[in-house]
Amino acid sequence: MINHVGTLNIETKRLILRKFTMDDAQNVFDNWANDALVTKYLQWKPHESIDVTKSILNDWVRSYERLDCYNWAIVCKDNMQVIGSISLVDFSNLHKWCEIGYCLSRNYWNNGIMTEALKAVIDFCFTKIGFNRVQAFHHAENRASGRVMLKSGMKYEGRLRQYRANTRGEFVDCDMYAILKDDYSNRDNS
């Protein structure tokens, strides 16, 4: 059974995953939302102004009223900066699966930060919510995101041709990864 609990705080060795607040607007804008390199493979364009960021944050903060909203700010313990986001972008209660999406400030790339956050959210999805399958997609050219998924215990399941449209309206291939609850439960036994 799925047990929606909402966006609860999660703590890892280097990170705090928590709800966004309106006070995060400047960090979000400065650290990744206005960066064309960070958003290159995402489905939204860089924010042109902090007003865009504030508007989106306002929607996110309001969405926390629902227990089926899962959208975490990734906070670096070293400096308490909001450096990224990770969320459940889709899910099925009936089929007990969810899809995770994420982005991270380029200043924190290649340090295992996103892998640490993704592992924590995968654990949350299985142990707190009760999903049977956690999946994620990435633009086929964004190989670094695929490495994050693999390091987090997900398995490559294949390429979906012209699966999503990019910000220019072009259809792009996406690679799909997933981990099952059985895989997760047996990870220490193999």
Taking only the tens place, the pLDDT of each residue in 127-159 is 999 999 999 999 999 999 999 999 999 999 999
Q: What is the pLDDT of residues 165-179, one digit of tens each?
A: 887 888 999 999 999
Whether residue 125 is contained in a domain is answered as: yes
Whether residue 144 is contained in a domain is answered as: yes
Q: Please state, in angstroms and rounded to a whole number, the distance separating the CA atoms of residues 65 and 51.
A: 23
Mean pLDDT of the chain: 94
CB contact set of 25 (below 8 Å; sequence gap of 6+): 50, 53, 54, 57
Number of domains in the chain: 1
Q: State phi, psi for 85 to the nearest 5 degrees.
A: -140, 155
Domain of residue 69, CATH code: 3.40.630.30
Q: What is the pLDDT of residue 36?
A: 80
Residue 166 lies in domain: 10-185
Whether residue 190 is contained in a domain is answered as: no
Whether residue 66 is contained in a domain is answered as: yes
Whether residue 119 is contained in a domain is answered as: yes
164 bridge partner residues: 172
